[in-house]
Structure 1
Amino acid sequence: MPKPTPVEDLIIPPQDQRICSIICICQMTAVLSCVSIVYLTVAIYMPYTRAIASGIDPTPIMCTTTRAVNKDNCEWGSCGEWCLSKTSGACIQIYVNVRKNGTTLMLADCGSAANKTCYGIDQENARKYHCIRDECKNLTGTFNCTDGKCINITDAFECAFRETDPPLKCSGRRGKITCIDVHGLYSCNRGTCKKIKTPYNCDRRCVDIPTRNKNVIVLSGDRVFLARCAKLTQQDTNETVWNDTGEEVLMLSCHTVHNGSMGVASPNRVIAPTEVDLTLANDSRLMINLEGCVNTLADECKDFLKDYGRDGTDHNAKARFPCFYTENSPETVVARFDLDSTYRQFLVALVLPTVLIVVSCITLMLCQKTIEVGDDAKMRFRGCGKGIAEAQTHPTDPVSPL
């Protein structure tokens, strides 16, 4: 039998940590930079080229949400959380009316200013009465119910109707079973609810608006601004377009309102001409940007759909906001478009990883040319300590000279 050969225990001497660290850092930087370029191609480079070629006017116009539609299978969506999967699964499609900007106006010499916020129903945060939990047994007022969950809208809306369905008794031993699937608008009295049949009319209710001694009413979303002003002028030309005669009340619909030392001003996009003259397109598609998606994975779409998807179906004010469009193609508009910011992001995303790759590769090439492995299996820069290494051997050196 041949004598077994023992396994050779190779002892690798400790290396110069500085050299190893430089090589590892450069390799890691080069690999991560290449990976980032692949990601940035989808996130930055391609959106930048589309933005340049889109022909979108960088001056914002005004959009008003008309409807928000939930779709199971989408050809397009207003906002997707990840661009690689934006067209798969369910989505929300938001449609808007597109119009030109109005006139910038200044209400001057104003006094007795007041404002009132007419709160609607916040569907997400409003208290919901679950009939299956026997919470509908004492309902009194007007309720909007969806699949057995009812929201009290009595204080926010005043509904006029003629016909109702037979009453349902939500109180008592079998009340929660009787009302488990209530759906629609109901008029309730101590747990006995009648479904309101169409046609009916529900108007927003806003009480205690201080109109006494006011001659100007400015509407902005759910807020009402009131004041007594002497005149209305165009802010750019200072031309007077209205004077207080003591007999008229001026009503304006504004996107934003600022109260300054010179008076109550609406700095941009105020409806002065008629809506028909300003309208550019009806029922246009709204997307958060040119891609209709974001790559931050920070739930941006949730906030976007909450703010821009208000279409007035809950009787609250419709969303109105600045948007951007292409003059020859107004059927699609975007909510975010900033060519300067896009260019800056593109420049940083292009220069930074490119410089890191170039510097890392040059450093690795220099290491290849300047680093050698000696007879003692140690890496060292050429010309550094070569004579000493050949002439001397440290007593603790694991490799002995022959």
Structure 2
Amino acid sequence: MLTSLDPHSAYLNPKNSKDMDIQTRGEFGGLGLEVSMESGWVKVVSPIDDTPAYRAGMQPGDFITHLDGEPVQGLSLSEAVDRMRGPPNTDIKLTVRRGGVDTPFDVKLTRAVIKVQTVKVQVHGEIGYIRISQFSATTNDDLKRLMAQIKKDIGKTPTGFVIDLRNNPGGLLDQAVGISDAFLDKGEIVSTRSRRPEDTQRFNARSGDIAEGLPLVVLINDGSASASEIVAGALQDHKRAVIMGTRSSGKGSVQTLIPLPGHGSMRLTTARYYTPSGRSIQAVGIEPDIKVTQSKIEPIAGAERERRSEASLRKALPNPNGGKNADKDKEQKDRDQKEREQKEKDKAAATPLPTQPAAPGAKPEAPAPIKLGDPAQDYQLARALDLLRGLSVYRPAAR
């Protein structure tokens, strides 16, 4: 029955249901991957910061085809996740397919108890950098505490703030609303709408801006999903922040967890969410105001990782808006299809150069990851810092 529903609806057995509850509270055991299921393979939505998966260089859009040599085809998402979890300090081998890399490669990970610090901060000169890796129960409180620390460390009025939502798979709706509210002084943040108009919910900002009106740049990419897109969409619609990076995932649906007898639960898509201007970003995503690709993230010169998003998921919900957004949805699908066809043609036409044969049994190695948050390696962050420094020239003098 569930196979006919959208890819975010699933049955959770008692163990998986308990694990999900633990995860939203910010501590759980496993590898540190937010995943979905597509075409029978496990798809990485994003790795969570400072976890085994993150340190191993797993990327949004990676497909896991085998777990310890056993194919994931035929497993449900819950079964695959259950196999990836396990006692701390035990190993598991993932076989990964990645766009732009011709052959699958193996990644060996050691399971750990993952304590997620969802908000981290740095200071770059007079600019505060705020990294939000997901939205758990403590995210809003952590932001307020660490914002005070940034201001103390800078010692004077900051030039502005970078809010980094890249590879943030989402999380709790109330936390996304709280983070948006922290930077907005008034206006609607998001609305959720189901089939019945009377069930529509609207969330509005309260007076007070934790950044005191200072310039904001929000970084997003195709690993920014759900709650991340709520924040980016709200700040973009109110022109409170410049959105920079690449188009987000496009997960504009709301899931409700329904408890079942026996301590299991059913996760069902029950509504869509809309930005303050009335946009649904389902299968379309948030378009950045300034597009900046991560130039150093690709391991092969000239190769472009195939973009995978909410729209590419099997049976993904369509965008309900007419007009511009619906056209964008169709145009993007057409572009994605043309890109895939062209890459297949290029691959078929290419004549490989002779190479030194690998040692018997050798496996391709996973490409080295880029370190997000380090301007020396992180091109998108470096451009965000440049933008804020430029905007500071036009900032009115403090009163």
Kindly indicate whether structure 1 or structure 2 has the higher relative contact order, using CA contacts under 8 Å at least 6 residues apart.
1
The alignment's TM-score, normalised by the length of structure 1, stands at 0.22
Point out the structure with max Rg over C-alpha.
Answer: 1
The alignment's TM-score, normalised by the length of structure 2, stands at 0.22
